[in-house]
Amino acid sequence: MKVKVISRSTDEFTRERSQDLQRVFRNFDPSLRSQEKAVEYVRALNAAKLDKIFARPFIGAMDGHRDSIKCMAKNPNYLKAIFSGSDDGDIRLWDLASRRTVCQFPGHQGAVQGLTVSTDGSVLVSCGSDCTVRLWNVPDANLADSDNLSDNSAKPVAVYVWKNAFRAVDHQWDGDLFATAGAQVDIWNHNRSQPVNTFDWGADTTISVRFNPGEPNILATSANDRSITLYDLRMSSPARKVIMRTKTNSIAWNPMEPMNFTSANEDCNCYSYDARKLEEAKCVHKDHVSAVMDIDFSPTGREFVTGSYDRTVRIFQYNGGHSREIYHTKRMQRVFCVKCSCDASYVISGSDDTNLRLWKAKASEQLGVVLPRERKKHEYLEAVKNRYKHLPEVKRIVRHRHLPRPVYKAANLRRTMIEAERRKEQRRKAHSAPGSIVTEPVRKRRIIKEVE
């Protein structure tokens, strides 16, 4: 009797190491797997569910300040460091890995209103309501790592006293200029005790300033007169101003798209602008239910994080109308400042409750070393989920978030109001002569005018 056996060549099936996987040959004929699509749909569904299960975004809180945190700055050259300034004039340098204060910078008499670090990460600039700008040397990273807690307070390298209180400061990318916002916009040099340039357009106080990281000579400010102003340092002149219906609290430039910036507005929305076309916003990002206090772009330029007065932190896609993620805890109060870490995988928020909080940028991401096979699996599940995200069941699971009751109620209320407004508009339109009432898109509605 003859027995047929499967013949396999040893060359193809011998493993190099005993840890290697056995080689598997597959027949990719689609007719053999007619159910593959259904299988993938189920996988997508399960992936969405697993994402929900593994969503643990909160990593930890950093406690130490004695007053609400007003501003933060990340070290563009060192991943683990973050600076925070509070209302009582305290500035601290934190080590994100151990979540401890590494160094303190005492000196400010009033609230610290702005912090920024030079691009090489060596100089910290702070400004406050005590009308001073202080420059500090950032302690060496290696020194900071060692546990010498005895000498952890630094002295300022320079203190520049100026005429008015400051509201914000930002450092130029790859340059030695920094800009402060206050009664006017001042451009400073590290080595001069007086601003090298001053811009004054309009009477109201400027409340935020941000340099364009891609195009280091362009900066944008927002002011109390509800305006957003662009400046060009090469011509040392303001360029354009756009006035909105409500105040803009903060501005962030997209680091990967130098022409685009997003503004955090008092009316709960964020507005993405193209600096070349200011007559209408490119995208309106809605979801917050109270004023958006701060905004920061992820270094990938694909998403940004916002902190709001409604005690939540949200993450938006750069082109998405609604948020991808919402973070909140019971104890987190009004969020005044948010930052995205330099490797785009963490989010840090500073709030009224004197704590800094560290979050994952992707709630269900696995931290630590991920083996290639594992990564491949994650990627596959992500891809499948992305593919079937439009189907109702997957969509529902992916979008669902538990909200704090006040936020939930406020969101409902807002929705009702907007809907009512829309209905009214519709009726008005229906009952007037055709063409007499033009509905302006939301992107334009909140803009009053563009000032030259």
Partner 1 sequence: MAVKKRKERAVGGESGNSKKFKKYSNSKGPMKKNKNDKRKKGKGPRLPSALRTELDRLDPKIASDSDDGIDLDVGNDVYEYEEEVPQEESRKNRRFDPVENYEYELPEDFEDENVPSDEDDDDGDFGVGGNKGSLNDDVDASDGDEEEDDERHLRMLQGVTGMSTDAFGGKKKRNSVVISEAHPESEYNPTRDVLEGDSHITLQDLLDPIQGKAGYSKLRKRVQHMDRKSTSVQAPLPKVDREKLERMAVYEHSKKDITKWEHLVKRNREAPTVFFGGDVDLGFSTVGAIASEFEPRTEFEKKIASLVYDDKVMEAHKADGSKLLELNKISEEDYMKHQDHVAKMRGLLFRHEMKQKRIKKIKSKTYHRLKNKDKLKVESAEMLMDPEAAKEQARKQEFKRAEERMTLKHKNKSKWARRILERGLNAQDEGTRAAMAEQLHQHALLTRKINTVKDSSSSSDSSSDDDDEVSNEDRASELLEKAKEKTLKVLEDDEEVPNSGVLSLPFMVRGMKKRKEEAIEEAKLALQEYEQLEGTNDAENSKPATASGRRVFGRANNEVPDSNKKTKTDNKMKMDNYYGNSDSEDDLKAKENVNIEGGKRNDVEKDVGPNYDRKEAADVSIFKNFEDNGDPGSKTTYEVAIFASDSRRKMKSENGIDKNAKKLQQVKEAIVHDKDMEEGEEDSDSESKQMVDGILSSAPKESYELPSQSELIRHAFAGDYVEEEFEKDKQEILNEENPEPDKPVLLPGWGQWTRVQQKKGLPWWMLKEHEDSKRKREESLKKRKDAQLKHVIISEKVDKKAEKLQTKSLPYPFTSKELFEQSMRMPIGSESNPETAIRSLNRPEVVKKPGVIIKPIKFVEMHHHEKSEDNKRSGQKQKKNKSKGASGKNKKQSN
Q: Which residues bind partner 1 (CB under 8 A)?
A: 1, 26, 28, 30, 33, 36-37, 39-41, 43, 76-80, 141-142, 173, 213-215, 218, 230, 232, 234-235, 237-240, 255-260, 275-276, 299-302, 342-345, 367, 376, 379-380, 382-384, 387-388, 390-393, 452
Taking the least distance from each CB to partner 1, the nearer of 255 and 404 is 255
How many angstroms separate the CA atoms of 115 and 436, rounded? 50
Specify the residue, 240 or 334, whose C-beta has the smaller distance to partner 1.
Answer: 240
- Cα–Cα distance measured from residue 17 to residue 370, given in angstroms and rounded to the nearest whole number: 21
Q: Which is nearer to partner 1, 299 or 404 (CB)?
A: 299
Judged on CB neighbours under 10 Å (0-12, 13-18, 19+), 139 is middle
Query: Which of 16, 434 has the CB closer to partner 1?
Result: 16
Give least dist CB 343 to partner 1, A: 6
Smallest gap from Cβ 105 to partner 1, in A, equals 21
Closer residue to partner 1 (CB): 75 or 308: 75
Burial of 216 (0-12, 13-18, 19+ CB in 10 A): middle
- CB-wise, 244 or 335, nearer to partner 1? 244
Q: How far is the CB of 399 from partner 1 (least distance, A)?
A: 13
Residue with tokens 């209180």: 165
Query: Smallest distance from the beta carbon of 368 to partner 1, in angstroms?
Result: 9
Q: Which two tokens stand for residue 44?
A: 């997508």
- Compute the least distance from the CB of residue 341 to partner 1, in Å: 9
Least Å distance, CB 213 to partner 1, is 4
Structure tokens at 371: 């083996």
Please say which residue, 165 or 239, places its beta carbon nearer to partner 1. Answer: 239
Residues written for the chain: 452
CB of 84 to partner 1, least distance (A): 20
Residue 446: count of CB within 10 angstroms of its CB: 18
User: Cα dist. 240→20, 229, 341, 360 in Å?
Assistant: 62, 6, 31, 37
Query: How many beta carbons lie within 10 A of that of residue 335, not counting itself?
Result: 28
Put residue 332 in one of left, alpha, beta given phi > 0 → left and psi -120 to 50 → alpha.
beta
Closest CA to 208 of 105, 115, 272: 115
Backbone region of residue 41 per phi and psi (left: phi > 0; alpha: psi in -120 to 50; beta: other values): alpha
Concatenating the DSSP letter of every residue in 44-111 gives: HHHHHHHHHHH---EEEEEE--SS-EEEEEE-TT-TTEEEEEETTS-EEEEETTTTEEEEE----SS-
Shortest spacing between CB 29 and partner 1, in angstroms: 9
Least distance in angstroms from the C-beta of 26 to partner 1: 7
CA distance 188 to 218: 15
Is the CB of 66 or the CB of 277 nearer to partner 1?
Answer: 277
Place of tokens 């460091």: 81
**Nearer Cβ to partner 1, position 345 or 364?**
345
Q: Which residues of 93-106 are buried (b: 16+ CB within 10 A; e: fewer)?
A: bbbbeebbbbbebe
CB 62, min distance to partner 1, A: 19
Question: Toward partner 1, which CB reaches closer, 57 or 301?
Answer: 301
